[in-house]
């Protein structure tokens, strides 16, 4: 008696992520089965066929979240590029004369403008910021700002620094009127 044993051929269906920080967990679902990893690859073993797949979203990152892939007698690799979601951070200036150049540093980025608006693009996180001084003006010049899944803003209010100037007259007879024009 001859016994014929058949083995179903399966192939590696490898999902390779890029763009996530090392050690970040991510998950792929193929045909109702989910696998997770904290490394750059997730590997399914599947026979020939066409498979729907999806990637579970991760806060702060965008990714092409689904698709389909065909296996036909060979292993298949699917690239899963994650990219950091950036949110606008608007810095609005008040108090400077029109056309005055002003500068803000947000984290390691520095921007200048001669209009009342500067916009940075930042990922989720907390950023230190500072406004470079402008001669003759005072402002709140530093602080921190949190970006948490949406746009953020802050205001740099400049106030003209004024000095008291006192004039003292000497040499006129007492009671003589005098004026100063500045």
State pLDDT tens for residues 62-121: 998 899 999 999 999 999 999 999 999 999 999 999 999 999 999 999 999 999 999 999
> Is residue 166 pLDDT above 90, yes or no?
no
Q: Find residue 49's DSSP bridge partners.
A: 71
Question: What CA–CA distances, in Å, run from 85 to 27, 80, 108?
Answer: 18, 15, 18
Q: Provide the pLDDT for residue 2.
A: 80
**Which residues have a Cβ under 8 Å from the Cβ of 102 and sit 6 or more positions away?**
93, 96, 112, 113, 114, 118, 131, 132, 134, 156, 158
Rounded to an integer, what distance in angstroms lies between the CA atom of residue 131 and that of residue 113? Answer: 12
Nearest to 21 by CA among 41, 38, 43: 38
> Is residue 4 pLDDT above 90, yes or no?
no
Q: Are 104 and 93 in contact (CB under 8 A)?
A: no
User: What pTM was computed for the model?
Assistant: 0.66
Rounded to an integer, what distance in angstroms lies between the CA atom of residue 18 and that of residue 77? Answer: 13
Q: Which of 68-72, 94-98, 130-134, 140-144 has the lowest mean pLDDT?
A: 140-144
Opening angle at CA 127, ends 125 and 129, nearest 5: 165
Q: Are 104 and 110 in contact (CB under 8 A)?
A: yes
């Amino acid at each position: 008696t001859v016994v014929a044993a058949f083995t179903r051929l399966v192939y590696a269906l490898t999902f390779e992520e890029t763009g996530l920080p090392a050690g970040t967990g991510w998950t792929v679902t193929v045909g109702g089965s989910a696998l997770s990893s904290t490394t750059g690859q997730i590997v399914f073993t599947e026979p020939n066929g066409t498979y729907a797949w999806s990637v579970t979203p991760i806060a702060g990152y965008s990714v092409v979240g689904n698709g389909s892939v065909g296996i036909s007698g060979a292993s298949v690799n699917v690239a899963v590029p994650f990219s950091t979601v950036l949110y606008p951070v608007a810095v609005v200036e008040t108090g400077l004369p029109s056309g005055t150049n002003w500068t803000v540093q947000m984290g390691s980025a520095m921007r200048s403008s001669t209009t009342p608006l500067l916009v940075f693009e930042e990922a989720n996180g907390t950023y230190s910021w500072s406004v470079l001084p402008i001669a003759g003006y005072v402002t709140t010049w530093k602080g921190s700002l949190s970006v948490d899944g949406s746009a953020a803003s802050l205001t740099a209010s400049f106030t003209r620094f004024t000095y008291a100037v006192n004039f003292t007259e000497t040499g006129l007879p007492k009671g003589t009127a005098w004026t100063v024009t500045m």
